[in-house]
Amino acid sequence: MIGLNLCPFAENPYRGKRVRFYVSEQRSAAGLLDELRSELTRLAAADPEDCETTLLIHPWVLADFIEYNDFLGICDEVVAELGLEGVLQVASFHPQYQFAGSQPDDIENCTNRSPHPILHLLREASVERAVAAVGDAEEIYRRNMRTLRSLGRDGWLRLWTDPD
């Protein structure tokens, strides 16, 4: 993500050690939902200078992309339930991520693919600042597609291969 500049606003929080990585041990969607509530509340209360964003990594639940995708609607409901609309949002990454209208093997899907399912909890203010700095948010998407197409499937797979 950072090395290919697929997310131009990821490097600063990462290098500044303002990303919380939380690996869930939950085995059910209900348990994950409880952790999501806790992590949203924690992030909202945190000073952005200490924690700007959270990656809620959940390797044991929602491995099926359709179930995961359906769960994203529930995530939005929880954000609203906690009174955090306009404050926080949830972005999505999954090993089988597939954009609507795309084929499973389309390289473009890789922009949102990850080794494990992840709910990325973002501050709306951080997203707004980043988009303002970039200018045209749609250009990020277009540039990412060009980057992945030029890299191709073989180039992408080489990035994930350990040279040792």
- State the Cα–Cα distance between residues 157 and 74, nearest whole angstrom: 32
Domain boundaries, the chain: 11-155
Distance of CA 91 to the CA centre of its chain: 4
pTM score, whole prediction: 0.88
Please tell me the predicted confidence (pLDDT) of residue 1: 64
Please tell me the predicted confidence (pLDDT) of residue 153: 83
Please tell me the predicted confidence (pLDDT) of residue 149: 86
Give the torsion through C-alpha atoms of 153, 154, 160, 164, to 10 deg: 170
pLDDT < 70: residue spans in the chain: 1-2, 5-6, 8, 162-164
